[in-house]
Structure 1
Amino acid sequence: MVNKPKLQIKEIGKVVSVSPPLIKILGFPSLKMGEVVSIGKKQAVIFKITREFTSALAYQDFAYALNLESQENENVKVGEKVERTGELLKVPVGEEFLGRVIDPLGRDIETGKKLELKEKREIEKLPPQIMERGLVREALETGVKLIDALFPIGRGQRELILGDRKTGKTSLVIDTVLNQKDIISIYCSIGQKKSELLQIDNVLREFGAKEKVVVIAAFSSDSPVLQYLAPFSAMTLAEYFREKREDVLVIFDDLTKHARVWRQICLLLEIPPGREAYPGDIFYLHARLLERAGKVSEEKGGGSITALPICETKEGDITEYIPTNLISITDGQIYLETDLFQKGQIPAINIGLSVSRIGAFAQNKYLREVTGGLKLLLSQHKELKKLVQLETELSKNYQRVFKRGEILLEIFKQEKHQLVDTIKQSIIYFAILNGFFDDLELEKVKETETKFYKFLDKYHKEIQFNL
């Protein structure tokens, strides 16, 4: 008996119009959203499926795909055959990416080669369920005194960094990366210039942090699709490391540009615009991304993903559409203010508008003991400053409190890349609260602080070790 070959049914479509990077396709009745299709040797992702009324007086199924390669758009021609792959978009994951600068599809930007890795994962995934999550009880130390003391971040937390242009947002998160010893960091650059990323890469090399960092970059000159995919690719890689029981830090720089790219794509797809011309699902876009961060339970491995998304404001307005969306999604925000930056306060963090909602539970216990005193001192200093501005004479006790507040604010000033561990922070805050710096002139505070740290390193290493 002759074995007849099995009958294979294959769906074939064709390109009916091309408006780079948008490709309109006809002929796929069972296509899925987010599926990858092949057009010759090129690939595109389905972003919209419609049933349209045509001139033939019938409804026809059309799909709208976006080409993954902006430089190959001109090679897609009307009438070209389109084939289904049956798979959603996947990206390679693996430890081989550590120390590299890659694009969202896993290609090494520095060498131009695509790494052949064994494992690939879908770029979209459901976040961990409630019962799969663990409590945030371990600190992620940034080395930035003001943050570690007043707005501590826990491993598994989502803390928004927002502020106007040129207020030090990127410098702040890069300092956080430099301070990590046992944490894998993923820096996701969205829509930045190549020169800006080169500066960041040089800093990582200079401080010896490159080998523990993966940089995923979609430049401003890249396809809108690559820029859209960049944060999802970064989160997919972070989930891979979390499943290996690692603690991961992911930085999205920045989600304002990401929102604009999604707006651009949706306008191309003729999706009805809403507020500020953003599509109606703009909140869901970032919510489904950031909800994938967090700490998982010990049964799931006990790893964590800490997310530090960056958001750019205009003229200090945090009530704009995208900033308010991100504030409501995250577990707190650190607001950098232009006025403070121009006055020379670095980092230019507005203490009144910044908050960390869950990090206090994970704060270093020695730092936690002095934090209450710091907050009380800052509150008293704020009230006394109003009286001083009115030229009201203060009692000796209030003069002492006011000066301690001034000294503390001076201590909080910190140049970039000059990181301080939490043990030294705890000791110097204890010294301030107990009057050891009371006789010091403000001009001498920074100099004395530097000498104090050197003194601790030279004569009291055992104290720091025991703490």
Structure 2
Amino acid sequence: MFRSALRQSARVATVAAASSRISAARAVAPVANSFRGYADKASPTEVSSILEQRIRGVQEESGLAETGRVLSVGDGIARVHGMANVQAEELVEFASGVKGMCMNLEAGQVGVVLFGSDRLVKEGETVKRTGEIVDVPVGMELLGRVVDALGNPIDGKGPIKSSKRSRAQLKAPGILPRQSVSQPVQTGLKSVDAMVPIGRGQRELIIGDRQTGKTAVALDAMLNQKRWNNAAGADEAKKLYCVYVAVGQKRSTVAQLVQTLEENDAMKYSIIVAATASEAAPLQYLAPFAGTVGLLHDYTWQMLDVEAPGWYKNPLFGVIFHSRSAFDRVTRLAPLTLSPGLTCQLFALKPPGRSFFKNLLYPQGRFWAIYAHTMKKPGVKGYRVYFGSGTDTLDGVRSRTKMYKPFVTRGIPRMVRTAFRQGYRITHTGLLCWTPIPRPRDVPRVRALFLALEATLTCMFFVQTKHIEDMYWKHIFPWVREDVEYSPLCCRSALKETIRGYQDLSADQLEDIYTKRISHRRSLMRGYARTHKIRKLAKNAVAFRKKNAEHSLKHYNKDTVAGASKQRTRKAAIRSAARHPCGPCGRNFDSPSALKKHLGTDRHASKLALQAAGAAVAYRQMSLLLRRPPGREAYPGDVFYLHSRLLERSAKMNDKLGGGSLTALPIIETQGGDVSAYIPTNVISITDGQIFLEAELFYKGIRPAINVGLSVSRVGSAAQLKAMKQVAGSLKLFLAQYREVAAFAQFGSDLDAATKQTLSRGERLTELLKQKQYSPMAVNEMVPLIYAGINGHLDNVPVAKILQWESDFLNHLRTNEKTILDQIDKEGALSKELEAKLKDVIKSFTANFS
């Protein structure tokens, strides 16, 4: 009975729905005919669409094209319904504040990759368009900085003051704006500059298995530009700026890279773009050093939580930081910014040297900070270090650091006063970490946190003298006191100090005290200013009034008409003299529009080292999560276009567009030396040559481990220095023959004289081309070495002593034959006279070499 009743009710509902549809259709027909007065009746398509809209009762919402809602989210990908007019690669913003980029534009939904944690985005959340395509800051202000893929600074040096932005996806230059490669890129590596030369505007692939020195080649090339940039002086056209893009690398690797560049003073012309491997593909835009602050906080909590007697620390620390959750709440009140040097040093295996303290920053502004003083005495080897904290509520750390002066007896630590009396002076003051001055209600707790941070860093760096309490905390840190090369100046732990502030007052009472303190200080300053004016007036009243009167008359008698005329004349002179200069390259232009067009070109020679394989892997991961159809090796079908649109930006521009260049050194990691895999073959077909690094050569100690047979440069030889081309023209062919003969010589014992000579000279040339990492060489020093090796002048030198001969010979040239080096550097070629002189020098030195 229940079933029959249910069927009857369903029939009634169906009939009612049908009758409503018919009545709605009748009501729609006159309206449709009024819009379409030129036709007798509507087409079936129009009628069906109108009926569908009226039946469902769907009406277009205002702003539907500008907003949407999250259908699903996970793995860094959000699927959003709505936003019908959104553009490809447009930035969108979620209600939680997370931003994303639209990658998939599908019917009814949009696939968005997130630039933040997907845990913050919820299903059903509102998404709105920003109308902006993904862009990044550009300009000379980025030099010396470490940024993420969106151009956000992640090195703790503050915001980047760049007024220009450019889209991340730019169209590569066409054919007409380019010119052929004509200027060399000196890498400082003998084997590269001699056999696989690179030119400005070229795309040279660096390929090889993992741990074969691929990054080392790019890094040495970056370090070598210091020599050329310093020699160029103010001529920006000769300088070479470097950009290193670390995609999919470990955070510790990026930190070590930055540390190496800073130690060699190469960051001033370099930019590091970091997207590390520790995050999912859409989250690789996060900072590589984001976890360093958390590491420092972990060390600090361990220092506070150690089991020790009561005299180890002030009991008030236990009240404020009674648990880890309470400690974390206080750390959120004071977001720390770490010095770039400290960011790298926390990953190091031993304490820092003097260069670490010398390169510490002291940013402008008012901060609470942990500072480091480096003290040195003239004529005395060694230096001393002191750590302290500055937590003044008005002036911050500066009110503390400015107190450290010789002959000051109050307010500075006893051991620092003693060092001043012994003749030591402060040579550098820098900040290890800092935070903006907190709100008055948070001052007591944040001040306790900074005392704990001071104690942690003091103990970690062994800036505190030996004490019985060392036994309680020395197991926390990775270093040992015996590795420290400086003398400590801290005599006690900051954990024993009194925590200044009103710990027992409420937040409102603390705010009231701060307001009264500010008011009192302003009244004092007003009183001082009034007293100062009265003092000047009392000394010489006539002169004081006369000076004020002259200033007033000068202001009121100012000729504004003449000033405007002078300004117009000056602008006309600027236009006639074409004085619209480009700051970086120094060229002048006759109009602002010409200057703007010039600034939009790749005018300044730059070198881009890119982890291309990491970019392809990240793109594959995002494409699979976006459900794009996979192809070979699960890569999407447009992965070739991913690399080509990037590498085609490398070009040598013609003189009308500034004559600048962009050189690319993409880095690809192979598996088991297989260069026929999908991504390696793709990039090889795009680039102008490749440097193939072989694992077998690397393990034999031949470094850089360049395989001469597979490495090639298709256009760089046109830009090779003439002197290098003269001496190294046959080097690559000879080494290829040597390795072929060496492979066959393993199976035979009877060799003719020519083969023995080839083997002997090949061994010496191979040894001569070896080079230590981080030691790039000038081209005027490479030429004599390769000349000596290729012409057989080293045939009588034992193979084991080749590197010793090289070191001694270079010292001999720098001291006794500097004119040869200067002449090669100046002329760029080997004349007959210079070649004869070089030959005599090599012969005489080799004959006397023991």
User: TM-score by structure 2 length?
Assistant: 0.50
Counterparts in 2 of 1:378 and 1:193: CA distance versus 1, 3 Å: closer
1:39 aligned residue? 94
Q: Point out the more displaced range, 309-318 or 190-199.
A: 190-199
SS at 2:193's partner residue?
A: helix
2:253 aligned residue? 196
Aligned residue among 16, 35, 48 for 2:104: 48
Pair 1:428-2:785 in alignment: yes
SS at 1:192's partner residue?
A: coil
Measured in 2, the distance between the counterparts of 1:375 and 1:106 equals 41
Aligned residue among 75, 80, 98 for 2:120: 75
1:23 aligned residue? 78
Tell me the CA shift for residue 245 of structure 1. Answer: 2.7
Larger strand share, 1 or 2: 1
Measured in 2, the distance between the counterparts of 1:343 and 1:401 equals 20
SS at 2:623's partner residue?
A: helix
In the alignment, is the contact (CA less than 8 A) between 1:13 and 1:25 conserved in 2? yes
SS at 1:447's partner residue?
A: helix
Q: Which runs of 5+ in 2 are unaligned?
A: 1-61, 229-238, 288-597, 825-850
2:113 aligned residue? 66
Pair 1:294-2:294 in alignment: no
Aligned residue among 369, 381, 392 for 2:726: 369
Q: Point out the more displaced range, 156-165 or 427-436.
A: 427-436
Measured in 2, the distance between the counterparts of 1:110 and 1:383 equals 49
Pair 1:251-2:589 in alignment: no
Q: Point out the more displaced range, 240-249 or 9-18.
A: 240-249
Aligned residues: percent identity? Answer: 41
2:511 aligned residue? none
Measured in 2, the distance between the counterparts of 1:396 and 1:223 equals 60
Tell me the CA shift for residue 185 of structure 1. Answer: 0.5
1:464 aligned residue? 821
In the alignment, is the contact (CA less than 8 A) between 1:159 and 1:307 conserved in 2? yes
Q: Point out the more displaced range, 146-155 or 9-18.
A: 9-18
1:208 aligned residue? 265
Tell me the CA shift for residue 83 of structure 1. Answer: 1.8
In the alignment, is the contact (CA less than 8 A) between 1:408 and 1:432 conserved in 2? yes
Tell me the CA shift for residue 434 of structure 1. Answer: 2.9
Measured in 1, the distance between the counterparts of 2:128 and 2:218 equals 43
Pair 1:139-2:497 in alignment: no
SS at 1:132's partner residue?
A: coil
Q: Point out the more displaced range, 281-290 or 380-389.
A: 380-389
Tell me the CA shift for residue 378 of structure 1. Answer: 2.4
1:174-204: CA deviations, max 9, x gaps?
Answer: 1111011331111111121211111111211
Q: What's the Cα RMSD here? A: 2.3
Tell me the CA shift for residue 428 of structure 1. Answer: 1.7
Measured in 2, the distance between the counterparts of 1:383 and 1:101 equals 45
> Match for 2:100: what amino acid?
A
Measured in 2, the distance between the counterparts of 1:371 and 1:12 equals 64
Counterparts in 2 of 1:18 and 1:404: CA distance versus 1, 3 Å: same
1:290-343: CA deviations, max 9, x gaps?
Answer: 111121111111111111111111111111111111111111111111111111
* 1:337-376 paired onto structure 2 within 5 Å: 337-376=694-733
Greater Rg by CA: 2
Q: Which runs of 5+ in 1 are unaligned?
A: 1-7, 52-60, 231-239
Q: Point out the more displaced range, 78-87 or 440-449.
A: 78-87
Measured in 2, the distance between the counterparts of 1:303 and 1:284 equals 25
Aligned residue among 194, 209, 219 for 1:174: 219
1:308 aligned residue? 665
Pair 1:442-2:799 in alignment: yes
Tell me the CA shift for residue 129 of structure 1. Answer: 0.2
Tell me the CA shift for residue 90 of structure 1. Answer: 1.0
Measured in 1, the distance between the counterparts of 2:659 and 2:693 equals 32
2:68 aligned residue? 13
SS at 1:44's partner residue?
A: strand
Q: Point out the more displaced range, 446-455 or 13-22.
A: 13-22
Tell me the CA shift for residue 26 of structure 1. Answer: 1.4
Measured in 1, the distance between the counterparts of 2:674 and 2:733 equals 28
Tell me the CA shift for residue 380 of structure 1. Answer: 4.3
1:55 aligned residue? none
Tell me the CA shift for residue 229 of structure 1. Answer: 11
Counterparts in 2 of 1:116 and 1:440: CA distance versus 1, 3 Å: closer
Measured in 2, the distance between the counterparts of 1:173 and 1:241 equals 27
Larger helix share, 1 or 2: 2
> Match for 1:404: what amino acid?
R
Measured in 1, the distance between the counterparts of 2:284 and 2:815 equals 49
Q: Point out the more displaced range, 78-87 or 26-35.
A: 78-87
Aligned residue among 327, 332, 347 for 2:684: 327
Number of equivalences: 440
In the alignment, is the contact (CA less than 8 A) between 2:200 and 2:663 conserved in 1? yes
1:54 aligned residue? none
Measured in 2, the distance between the counterparts of 1:208 and 1:465 equals 25
